[in-house]
Amino acid sequence: MQARMKNPAYVLPGALKGIGGIFQAIGESGLSQEVQELVGLRASQINGCGACVHGHVQNLRKAGASEERIASVTAWRDAPFYDDAERAALQLTESVTRLADRSHESVPDALWDEAADHFDERELSALILTIAVTNLFNRINTTIKEPAGTTWG
C-alpha cells in the first residue's frame, strides 16, 4: 500500500515548522510521554488512522508500556491497567475527538474538573494540544491513505 501523496506537512515546510513548535512545547510541559502516547493511540483508534495507531503502539513499547496496557486502550473503561489520571485523559480524548457525535457539551464540567484534578495547567494544555495534533494527523493520514508502518523524519 502506498500513500496518495507525500504528507502535506513535508510538502509545505512552514507547516512542519509550526507543528514542530507544538511538539516541542508539549515535550516541555511535564506531561508524561506515556500519557501522550495513550491519548494519541485512543484518538487514532477512534478515527481509524492505521499509520498513527501503529506509530503510537511502537512509541508505547519503546516507553516500556506493558502489552496489557497497549492492547486494552480501546476498552480502557473495563480494564484495570490505568490510573485515575490516565482514565481522565482518555475520557477527555474521547470527548474532544468525538465532537460530531455529541448531543451535549463537548467537554462537560465534571470531566473538565476530573482532568484538572490530575493535571496542572501546563500538563492540561499539553494534553489538549496532544489530542488536537493527533486529530490533525489522523485527518491528514486518512485523507492521503498513509499506510501503517510509515516512518517520518
- The confidence score (pLDDT) of residue 70 equals 98
Three-class secondary structure of residue 126 per DSSP: helix
122 lies in some domain = yes
Cell of residue 70, nine digits: 497497549
Q: What is the overall mean pLDDT for the chain? A: 95
Whether residue 9 contacts residue 140, with contact meaning beta carbons closer than 8 Å, is answered with yes
Confidence grade of residue 149 (pLDDT, cut at 50, 70, 90): confident
11 lies in some domain = no
- The confidence score (pLDDT) of residue 100 equals 87
pLDDT in tens, 89-136: 999 999 999 998 877 889 999 999 999 999 999 999 999 999 999 999
Distance of alpha carbon 81 from alpha carbon 22, whole angstroms: 29
- The confidence score (pLDDT) of residue 103 equals 78
- The confidence score (pLDDT) of residue 102 equals 77
pLDDT in tens, 26-72: 999 999 999 999 999 999 999 999 999 999 999 999 999 999 999 99
16 lies in some domain = no
Cell of residue 127, nine digits: 494534553
128 lies in some domain = yes
pTM given for the model: 0.95
Domain ranges, residue 105: 32-144
**Residues 140-153: what's their mean pLDDT?**
87
139 lies in some domain = yes
List C-alpha distances in Å: 44 to 74, 78, 104. Answer: 10, 19, 23
- The confidence score (pLDDT) of residue 152 equals 62
The lowest-confidence range among 2-11, 79-88, 116-125, 128-137 is 2-11
**Strand spans (E) along 41-135:** none
40 lies in some domain = yes
pLDDT for residue 22 is more than 60? yes
Whether residue 126 contacts residue 32, with contact meaning beta carbons closer than 8 Å, is answered with no
> What CATH number has the domain bearing residue 134?
1.20.1290.10
